Structure 1
Amino acid sequence: MNPYLLGIFAPIVMSILFRNAKNGKKRGLPVEVDGEPGYAIRNYRFLKPVESAWEGITTLAELFEQSCKLYPSKHLLGTRELIAREVEVSEDGRSFEKFHLGNYEWLSYGEAFEAVCGFSSGLVQLGHGKEERVAIFADTRAEWLIALQGCFRRNITVVTIYSSLGEEALAYSLNETEVSTVICGRKELKKLIDINGQLDSVKRVIYIDDDGISSEVSLAERNTNWKVTSFAEVEKVGRENPSDSDMPVSADIAVIMYTSGSTGLPKGVMMNHRNVLAVVSAVMTIVPGLGSKDVYLAYLPLAHILELAAENVVVAVGGSIGYGSPLTLTDTSNKIKRGTKGDASQLGPTVMTAVPAILDRVRDGVRKKVDAKGGLAKRLFDFAFGRRLSAMNGSWFGAWGLEKILWNFLVFRKVRAILGGRVRFLLSGGAPLSGDTQRFINICLGAPIGQGYGLTETCAGGTFSEYDDMSVGRVGAPLPCSFIKLIDWAEGGYLTTDSPMPRGEILVGGPNVTVGYFKNEEKTKEVYKVDERGMRWFYTGDIGRFHSDGCLEIIDRKKDIVKLQHGEYVSLGKVEAALSECPYVDNIMMHADPFHSYCVAIVVASQHALEDWAEKNGITFTDFSELCKKKETLKEVLGSLMKVGKKVRLEKFEIPAKIKLLPNAWTPESGLVTAALKLKREAIRKEFSEDLSKLYTS
């Protein structure tokens, strides 16, 4: 064929193929299930739920040992060398801790297995009994995974607790599970000492050696009755006095995972080895090419099931795990010393997981830099982005083939360098990812994003978008370990008979559905049910709808729906997700009162966007807090929210009539968001109750 004609017709053919791949493939198939009537879907590839991808492997302990024997000399656990810890003082007198970090230092699979066996035997020497529970209360790091696997080899149940958990929830979690041994880092040890008098069962504390931890250790030894031992010492004693392993079976409880919860005290979700292994096995069938050459950057909390499952997947294929943190992730992260590489740049990961809030920050950071450059650079970026977006949407006018390669090299190469330049797959979970952010990351990083849907109660497993699914706003088809069923929620107006898509409350069934809540039989019976076939179902409280190809879309949540004074229903989560597109919003919590006809909102302001607006409009201010209180600022943000609301077709009563603008970000440490950065509504309402009251009365 004439090369000129080929150049004309090739994009058209690619567009047709893209549309067929996007719209024609059945990813989920309807299936008959017993029990409560509803509309159920399974993965189109599998007749029954997957439980294990490896013959003879039924527990996480067996899976870890298998990989260590298969890849003994391969890198497994990487930790960056801490060269220096420095304190910088800003012009306004505030001090910031900065890290000068070096290269990654690695433990091989063989060395990691020796460390795990040593730690496991060390627990015996320390006096920890098999029937006693261990709590891991620390940031994500290599010792976390070593401790977890060490406990598994003794068939010890591990209680996982977010390092950001508040004092009341921390004491509650440790006391409810009667933990006798706690493994922690420096800041966590300080928290434990502060609540020492509230802890009923703790006998031993194993601290992970950190710079400056000796003062906390001395304080614990003076003021508590605990036996305080270093992680390294436990491992050393265990190596010198090895004990035979006492391996678990699939039905044994591996983890009691305490969620940070969006309401009230945390609940402990009991997961057995079968539950987590089912999810790990299912993900293995979905992500193509995952193998021993992959490098994974671990920085999300290991106390969150998303991270725990992801790291076990990497271990299963013989990949490498390099540890980092959200505050040292990139070259410009808050705690990285100027001139020092961030974790991603240093490691060069090929695979990552992320929560939407972090991907939103990457998107906003890139856009801010592009806008600041302006001129030709901005026009070139916008043009290249527009061409790639057209291609991804199936248009033959988009950038295909050589043009795609050209734009990737000229424009998007620097964006990819932010995360190390080698990322080939991203998994997003924990909350809905906006279509705008998904497309932005797809284009700029040149990597697909797999959106997943699951809960702690389903070991993060439910649905997962497949590698070739380029649609946005959906969370994919059922994982091979799951059935997904919708049941009617008549009160909210969601029915499985709705046309053109069945809608209703989402139920997840399969071997990944966990055992229940620890010491909470009433709540367990309320949301866990077993059907006539013996399949266990979890009632999520989320509302979804099935697309014609079998993919699920999350459209609402029962708990987030509030009825206003005149009978209108407002879905708070849906509105928050829509209004988060406002450039002035860093975070937002909607509030609806049944005794009023309108909504209000607490808005965490985006500092750079508002300061840029103020500068352009000649508005003077001494600090950002003052800017957030100005009437003209409130008017501008409220107007922008209304504009965004109209654009996405929100009803007038769904758009906040009044707002309170905050200058400081919500962090897990503040207790206002979870470790996965989800809103803790009750905590925010309590914290800002006076402000919310004023918004309705002013």
Structure 2
Amino acid sequence: MRLKEDINPLLLQVFRSIVWLYSLLTFLPWFLLSGASARLQRAKRVKARSVSGQSAGPYRAVNSAERLASTLQPACDTLDKVFQYAARRFPRRDCLGTREVLSEEDEPQPNGKVFKKVILGDYRWLSYEEAYQAAVRFGSGLAALGQKPQYNIAIFCETRAEWIISAQACFMNNFPLVTLYSTLGGPAIAHGLNETEVTHIITSKDLLQTRLQAILVEVPRLQHIIVVDAKVTSWAGCPRGIMVHNMASVQELGAKAENMSRPRVQPVPSDIAVIMYTSGSTGIPKGVMISHSNLIAGITGMAERIPNLDETDTYIGYLPLAHVLELSAELVCVSHGCRIGYSSPQTLADQSTKIKKGSKGDTTVLRPTLMAAVPEIMDRIYKNVMTKVEEMSRLQRTLFVLAYNYKMEQISKGYSTTLCDSLVFRKVRSLLGGRTRVLLSGGAPLSAATQRFMNICFCCPVGQGYGLTETCGAGTISEMWDYSTGRVGAPLVCSEITLKDWEEGGYYSTDKPHPRGEILIGGPNVTMGYYKNEAKNREDFYVDEKSQRWFCTGDIGEFHPDGCLKIIDRKKDLVKLQAGEYVSLGKVEAVLKNCPLIDNICAYANSDQSYVISFIVPNQKQLLALAEQRGVRGSWEEICNNSDMEKEVLRIITEAAVGAKLERFEIPRKIRLSSEPWTPETGLVTDAFKLKRKELKTHYQDDIERMYGGK
């Protein structure tokens, strides 16, 4: 993605001449001292190959061709041993950090809404030894409250230090931990709690009052609620038979001599560590059974792809810990003695919604070196920065574009650009604290434009990963020195990948120039299956003749000659139109989401219709500017509902679709603009911001009928 220059041609030529002269003078010393040649060679080397010699695979990383990796350290075969190892090796190193809340206030908005704003202080840290002892006491306290080994216990809580302490306490005592997203609806929460027959649940004060309270009568087995907030000691609305405790009181109970001396039943590698309920993009969420050995294999593979990972690194935790990406990332950090500072999407940056103007967001204070993000968040950052670039003067904008294009050219040759980084991109880089050295994207496909932008402007490699809850989030991660875009990298050292022909979609492992097919992931990171769902287990999992477990992902991929995988389609996203053409809805969305007018999009098609339609969440700033140009006035909702604006947006995205070479039948014929964003709270996207197609279809049913001529 080259940016377009906009300035007087003579002045532009002067700038280019200066850049050319600088490159000429610095080329030889930089080439000799920077190691650019070695980096470029490493980026282009073969990273994985088919161990069978067949184009279908299985493909393995070149450094695991003989045997898949399954453990970080030989003696650490369960998660409690990993934490114990870290506490012994890094006892006084900062482990878990939480910012102090200095003040809270309500801030009225011009539209009448009231936003809660906070001023936060510094991070307060628990050392590895302190975090370990807190988990020991909490686990002992849970046992004193009647929680038994190999009986399920649930956690329904936001991402925070208490979440990971609770999880470690459960791992130590062989309490299988049932994880539930904090944004799940009432029926889904009740389903998970009843299916796993939990008697104890760990939650927060806010979630107890806003989400759990309404469904407690539907969970008859529940006996104990442990609230992680310090001030909660009782709750007047609690149904009869349920006791409410706070975390501190349970830890005090666990610290008593008679409870501390009680022997712990330690897990074995094959025991269930987590029953992780998926975010439910297709109906009722399923509980994925993940053993200790599964998670350890997964984090072993992930850790190998992060260069120089050690106790000097700082990770910022803000994604849902109930999602396998965040849980795995934090377990990787714990296993290497990194410190983890907690945040939330509402307090992440100085401009975040809950941060009071003039005070500092979490990235500014923490200055993390490691960060994970979902594409939705990266897309927002990309569009916000590019909007600010458009608002610059012509001279500033052209300088930015020149630097951007120059750096893109240099990194493609293996060179770094210290001068550009310090003079031009330093301010953008400071949005994430200024020290980020690895940024990992997962949860959904990341567009090539956004990935390249993050590479360049944040001055660090952006690794794109691919994995599922059913594979502990581990499948592939691109190597940090590979600056190609649109690919998810080679298989991790813990896993191998096979491509299975899919005749209906026209994908075959014999395809040229790249073998294509459904992605099947095998290895010790492939989980035990779905909880109490044998029919689905038989459909999605199988064991081969070598006793290795495999998971059928439903995603379509292609392997490139260097062994890197690219996700190109999804079986469930394929719709056959009335005339027989197959449309990949995911492909249409990926192309059109790069349009500046679009914040989010869901393509839709009925098999008895001849064309595609789309629901669109427009970018507010871009759409308001377009409305002003066209003389359309009114509230935000009125502008979104204006038929002339729909036609204008459709014209613009049609041009973008043609420019991206979509087929005629793939281009949406009609659209609906949504004035409300899609968030996990609306129930229209998952916590990882994946589209919930079933819910979106129900939500826009009247519009579907209108756009297809039914109304």
Calculate the TM-score normalised by the size of structure 2. 0.93
Q: Contact 2:56/2:515 (CA < 8 Å) preserved in 1?
A: no
Say which of 480, 483, 503 aligns to 1:470.
483
Q: Is the 8 A contact 1:298 1:323 kept in 2?
A: yes
407, 411, 436: which one aligns with 2:424: 411
Residue 242 of structure 2 corresponds to which residue in structure 1?
226
- Distance, in Å, in 1 between the alignment partners of 2:561 and 2:53 is 19
Cα deviation, residue 92, structure 1:
1.8
- Residue 236 of structure 1 is matched in structure 2 by 252
Aligned to 1:170: 189
1:71 and 2:90 equivalent?
yes
Residues 88, 96 of structure 1: 8 Å contact kept: yes
Distance, in Å, in 2 between the alignment partners of 1:158 and 1:177 is 10
Match of 2:674 among 662, 678, 686: 662
Q: CA deviation at 1:612?
A: 2.2
How much does 1:614 deviate?
2.5
Taking the aligned partners of 2:115 and 2:71, their CA distance within structure 1 comes to 47
The Cα of 1:17 is off from its aligned counterpart by 6.3
Correspondence for 2:498 among 469, 482, 485: 485
User: Structure 1 residues 432 and 488, CA, compared in 2 at 3 Å: closer, same or farther?
Assistant: same
Q: Verify the 8 A CA contact 1:185 1:210 in the aligned structure 2.
A: no
Per the alignment, residue 688 of structure 1 pairs with 700
Checking the alignment, whether the CA contact within 8 Å between 1:39 and 1:502 is kept in structure 2 is no
| More displaced stretch, 251-260 vs 642-651 | 642-651
From 372, 375, 399, the equivalent of 1:356 is: 375
Matches of 2:406 and 2:75, distance apart in 1:
50
Pairing partner for 1:632 from 616, 620, 644 = 644
Offset of residue 690 of structure 1: 1.0
Q: Does 1:546 align with 2:559?
A: yes
The answer to whether the 8 A contact 2:518-2:552 is kept is: yes
Correspondence for 1:43 among 53, 57, 61:
61
* Contact 1:178–1:200, Cα closer than 8 Å, also in 2: no
Q: Take 2:643 and 2:303, find their aligned partners in 1: how far apart are those partners?
A: 54
Q: 2:615 and 2:240 mapped to 1: Cα distance?
A: 42
What per-residue deviation string (whole Å, max 9, x for no partner) do you get for residues 216-271 of structure 1? x42333x3421110011111111124133321110000000001121110000000
Instruction: Select the residue among 244, 264, 271 that pairs with 1:252.
Output: 271
Please list, as runs of the form range in 1=range in 2, the aligned pairs for 1:481-630 lying within 5 A after superposition: 481-621=494-634, 623-630=635-642
Contact preservation (8 Å) 1:137, 1:160: yes
Q: 1:696/1:11 Cα in 2 relative to 1: closer, same or farther (>3 Å)?
A: farther
- The code of the aligned residue for 1:640 comes to I
TM-superposition CA deviations, 1:35-56 (whole Å, max 9, x none): xx94210010112110102011
CA deviation after TM superposition for structure 1 residue 655, in Å: 0.9
| 1:339-381: CA deviation from partner (whole Å, max 9, x where unpaired) | 2211111100000000111111111111122222333222211
The CA distance in 2 between the partners of 1:651 and 1:20, in whole Å, is: 37
Counterpart code for 1:114: Q
- Note the alpha carbon deviations across 1:598-642, whole angstroms, 9 max, x for none: 000011111111112223444322x21111122332122111211
1:198 corresponds to which of 211, 218, 229: 218
* SS of residue in 2 equivalent to 1:195: helix
Q: CA deviation at 1:10?
A: 6.8
Counting only pairs closer than 5 Å after superposition, residues 320-331 of structure 1 correspond to structure 2 as 320-331=339-350
Distance in 1, matches of 2:393 and 2:146, equals 64
Letter in 2 for 1:413: R
CA distance in 2, matches of 1:339, 1:665: 26
Partner-residue secondary structure (3-state), 1:39 = coil
Whether contact under 8 Å (2:678, 2:685) holds in the other structure is: yes
Unaligned runs of 5+ in 2: 1-20
Q: Deviations over 1:56-84 (max 9, x none)?
A: 11011100011011111110000010112
The answer for the alignment partner of 1:423 in structure 2 is: 436
Q: TM-score, normalised by structure 1?
A: 0.95
How many angstroms apart in 2 are the aligned matches of 1:319 and 1:12? 33
Residue 303 of structure 2, aligned match among 284, 287, 304: 284
CA contact (8 A) 1:133 1:177 kept: yes
Would the aligned equivalents of 1:220 and 1:226 in 2 still touch at CA under 8 Å? no
The residue number in structure 1 matching 2:689 is 677
Deviation for aligned residue 1:510: 0.3
Distance 2:651 2:30 in 1: 41
Aligned residue type for 2:333: V
Contact in 2 for aligned 1:81/1:104 (Cα 8 Å): yes
CA contact (8 A) 1:196 1:224 kept: no
- SS of the residue corresponding to residue 52 of structure 1 reads coil
From 113, 126, 137, the equivalent of 2:132 is: 113
User: In the superposition, relative to structure 1, how do residues 70 and 614 fare at CA in structure 2: closer, same or farther (>3 Å)?
Assistant: same
State whether structure 2 residue 457 is matched by structure 1 residue 444.
yes
SS in 2 for 1:220: coil
* 1:101-137 deviations in Å (ceiling 9; x for gaps): 1110000001101100110110122122224211000
Contact residue 149 and residue 174 of structure 2 kept, 8 A: yes
What is the total number of aligned residue pairs between the two structures?
A: 683
- Deviation readout 1:179-202 (Å, 9 max, x if unpaired): 110100123212211112211311
Cα offsets for 1:281-325 (capped at 9, x unmatched): 122222110000000000000000010110010001100000000
Q: What does the per-residue CA deviation read over 1:318-337, in whole Å, with 9 as the maximum and x for residues that have no partner?
A: 00000000111100011111
The residue aligned with 2:6 is none
Letter in 1 for 2:426: R
Find out whether 1:435 has 2:455 as its counterpart.
no
Whether contact under 8 Å (1:39, 1:487) holds in the other structure is no
Q: 1:220 touches 1:228 (CA, 8 Å); kept in 2?
A: no
In 2, are the aligned partners of 1:435 and 1:473 still within 8 Å (CA)? Answer: yes
2:492 and 2:24 mapped to 1: Cα distance?
A: 43
Deviation at 1:89, TM superposition (A): 0.7
- 1:182 matched to 2:201? The reply is yes
Separation of aligned partners in 1, 2:30 and 2:610: 52
Q: Contact conserved, 1:483 with 1:510, CA < 8 A, in 2?
A: yes
SS in 1 for 2:121: strand
Residue from 60, 77, 83 that aligns with 2:102: 83
Q: Is the 8 A contact 2:235 2:244 kept in 1?
A: no
Identical-pair percentage:
46
**280-289 or 570-579, larger mean C-alpha shift:** 280-289
Task: Output the CA distance in 1 between the equivalents of 2:411 and 2:98.
Answer: 37
Corresponding residue for 2:16? none
**3-state SS in 2 of match to 1:248:** coil
The match for 1:642 is 654
Q: Distance in 1 between matches of 2:87 and 2:41?
A: 42
2:659 and 2:243 mapped to 1: Cα distance? 61
Give me the whole-angstrom Cα distance separating, in 2, the residues matched to 1:488 and 1:562.
18
Counterpart-to-counterpart distance in 2, 1:688 and 1:210 = 43
CA RMSD, Structure 1 to Structure 2 (Å): 2.0
Q: Is the CA contact (8 Å cut-off) linking 2:39 and 2:481 kept in structure 1?
A: no
Q: 1:636 to 1:481 in 2, by over 3 A?
A: same
